[in-house]
Structure 1
Amino acid sequence: MSLIETFQLALKNILGSKMRTFLTMLGIIIGVCAVIVIVGLGNGMQGYIESQFEDMGTDSLTVMIMGRGSSRSVSDEEMYEMVADNSDLLKQISPTVTMTGILKIGSDSITTTSMTGVSEDYFSMKDYTVAQGRGLQCTDMENRKKVCVIGQYLNMAYYGGSAVGQTLKIGGTTFTIVGVLAQQSSDLEEGGTDDCVYLPYTTASRLNYTGTISSYTITVQDKDQVSEAKSLVESELYEIFEDDDAYTVTSMAEMLDTMNEMVNVIIYILAAIAAISLVVGGIGIMNIMLVSVTERTREIGIRKALGARESVIMRQFVIEAATTSSMGGILGILLGYGLSSVATMVIARVMPDTPITVSPSLLAVLVAFGVSTGIGIVFGYIPAKKAANLNPIDALHYD
């Protein structure tokens, strides 16, 4: 009997008892579906995390200077010189000074707005676009000018879209608005990405009464050289302070890798738990194939009496088990894609600000199908072996 004929006979036997076959495949269907949805959710979470880190800049380093008591510190001029001397790795630098105090626009006092002192290069480093007016300039830094650039939320909520040329107050000091950034997030909301004010870092430093600047953002020439650039900055700072505790250098790319590793571990654990149902499905297939061997004992006896070899009998039952599990795998894949689409719509409705797309990968689908087929072969071996080893005389007398 050829392989095609064996497969056709297997399909005939499977379809001859549709309900029993479906119940046998149920464990495989659920297992494959669960694995695909979980892996798809993991892919969606990774995509969302990567998009969030892209907004913060995966090509950037964040440097925090704690200093070494009052004996040694580092000036912004020295930090700029460090970047200039290592231009093969480092691209741009901006001091960042977080402002405290209350923002006042007219008679309104606002506490949710982020207020940050930055350099003239900060907007290009973060890929921010100035939609109205101008950005911060070098002369603003040198002369400690009281000017600022605001986010689109403040522009629309408090100035009716015409903020350039108007004023606001930070800690009692009046600033003139010289520019408005283009909208960054999909929704303009209080406390969001577009609820922000940027002013010259030199001005912010003076208003904060800080003698030195303790935070810097540095971009690198090539994303693939982030680790090398981080080591360089750490080495330069160590030469200044001779103390590892005097500074910290954080890489957004390394943070992203760490987050992805954590997500992968969680997804692998959940997928492994879901895959337990595949084993349960395999046990169900083995059980039903043992029943099938018992039901078809006389058939097996007749075939062996007519000269069918043990290998042919064994192949027949293994193919039948593998076909059953493969069909369950296909149904599980289809159901998994359907549930993934439903899950994406549910997430979009429940968490509109968290665009996570449940997207199963091709590799996950291929692995799930391969495992489901393998389960059928493995768990179908014992019933097939039992069928092949039947004594034809005893089989013919079986009632």
Structure 2
Amino acid sequence: MKLGDLFYETWHALAANKGRSFLTILGIVIGITAVIAMTSLIAGVQNMLMGELGLSQARQVSISAYTSTGMTFEDLDKLKAGMPDYEILTGSAYASAEITLADGQKSYFSLIGVRPDYFAANGSRLKEGRFFTDSEERNGARLIVVNGDFGLQLFGSADVDMLGKSVRLGNDDYTIVGVLETSSFMGGAPLFVPFTTAQTRLDGERSISQIVGFAREDTDMEQLVESTRDYVARYLNVEPENVGVYSLDSAIKQLETTIASFSLLMGAVASISLFVGGIGIMNMMLTNVTERIREIGLRKSLGARRRDITKQFLLEAIMLCVTGGVFGIVFGFAAAWGLSGVVGAVQPGMSLTPVLAPEVVAGAVGVCVAIGIVFGYYPARRAAKLDPVESLRYQ
């Protein structure tokens, strides 16, 4: 039988039972819809998180040392000289000040005193404005860099243009020179002021409370974490257990592993629907074989071979599965966009864009073909083995 004739006969056989065919493929549609929706959303979440972290931030290292004397920037300069794998090694100190809010209420806010290189090491991105300069930091300038979501608290509106406005900290007015992009990782992050300003004007900590490093390109991050812990411990004359070193690279890898595990779990749950759908395909095909015994006998009496009968019924099962898969892909991606809209409504400011990867579509189609072959082979072989004489006599 020619391939064109095979497809023609298959199409007419399925079209003759539209209602039954539709109900049969529902299991496949539901299973593929669940798989596509989950994988698209998970890929979107991964892209969103990676976008927040930034690929370059895999080179970021956070260092905390438990010592009674504390650390200064002079100590950091000496540490950096002994650890050439770091492009930047900087730190920050906490301070607090009374701030007058938009509603007239006064409240104490935490601030972070930093040097300009802290923003580069921490991967901070500007929405507008600039960071303060080295000379402004040394002179204790009354300047602030704020997070993008502070407008509502400080000025009563989330859409206010904060750049250039003044904020009352304690007894002094400070000018906002930079606004950072709002990040779900920073959330309600403190305000940033020059390190010298925090020490001299806001009674900030004299020692550095957190050390942030930014490794040079192509550095082995796992090895750098170990060498950093040992070197800082020797410098401070403390046990390595008293030095905490964490790289964002390990957090990113852990995130990727977690997302991959979650995707596998969701795929396993959705595969139950596919299995049920496959059983439905087999049930329909066995019913078709029973209803078309006389037709099979007639085809065989006219010269149809076993493999022709097998191909016809196998192709019917495959077409059912692929049709269900196509509808499942469309409905799944639509469902992913719908769910992302719900997430955006529930969590304002969170932009989640589903990602439909080509390999996922190819995999879904491949799974549908495999289901058609696995669950359609037995009915097809049963039809092919029917005796033509007995089939023609079947009532």
Match of 2:391 among 381, 391, 395: 395
Name the SS of the counterpart of 1:95 in structure 2. Answer: strand
Which letter does structure 2 place at the counterpart of 1:236?
Answer: Y
Q: 1:108 Cα shift?
A: 4.5
Q: 1:206 Cα shift?
A: 9.6
Counterparts of residues 326-337 of structure 1 (less than 5 Å): 326-337=322-333
Match of 1:320 among 316, 319, 327: 316
Aligned CA distance change for structure 1 residues 397 and 132 (closer, same or farther; 3 Å): closer
1:318/1:384 contact within 8 Å kept = yes
Which letter does structure 1 place at the counterpart of 2:181?
Answer: Q
Q: 1:373 Cα shift?
A: 1.3
Partner of 1:361: 357
Q: Deviations over 1:279-308 (max 9, x none)?
A: 111100100100001011111112222332
Counterparts of residues 226-241 of structure 1 (less than 5 Å): 226-240=221-235, 241=237
Partner of 2:13: 13
2:167/2:175 contact within 8 Å kept = no
Q: Tell me, which stretches of 5 or more residues in structure 2 are unaligned?
A: none
CA–CA distance in 1 between the matches of 2:211 and 2:302?
86
Q: 1:196 Cα shift?
A: 1.6
Q: 1:268 Cα shift?
A: 1.6
Partner of 1:25: 25
Partner of 2:155: 157
More divergent stretch after superposition (101-110 vs 5-14): 101-110
Counterparts of residues 241-256 of structure 1 (less than 5 Å): 241=237, 243-256=239-252
Partner of 2:213: 218
Counterparts of residues 249-328 of structure 1 (less than 5 Å): 249-328=245-324
Q: 1:378 Cα shift?
A: 0.6
1:46/1:263 contact within 8 Å kept = yes
Counterparts of residues 348-387 of structure 1 (less than 5 Å): 348-387=344-383
2:94/2:204 contact within 8 Å kept = no
CA–CA distance in 2 between the matches of 1:156 and 1:210?
24
CA–CA distance in 1 between the matches of 2:269 and 2:129?
54
Q: 1:246 Cα shift?
A: 1.3
Which letter does structure 1 place at the counterpart of 2:227?
Answer: L
RMSD: 3.3
More divergent stretch after superposition (17-26 vs 97-106): 97-106
Q: 1:338 Cα shift?
A: 2.1
Taking structure 1 as the reference length, what is the TM-score of the superposition? 0.84
CA–CA distance in 1 between the matches of 2:105 and 2:193?
19
CA–CA distance in 2 between the matches of 1:249 and 1:235?
10
Aligned CA distance change for structure 1 residues 208 and 253 (closer, same or farther; 3 Å): farther
What is the number of equivalent residue pairs in this alignment? 384
1:148/1:175 contact within 8 Å kept = no
Q: Tell me, which stretches of 5 or more residues in structure 1 are unaligned?
A: none
Match of 2:114 among 115, 118, 130: 118
2:73/2:208 contact within 8 Å kept = yes
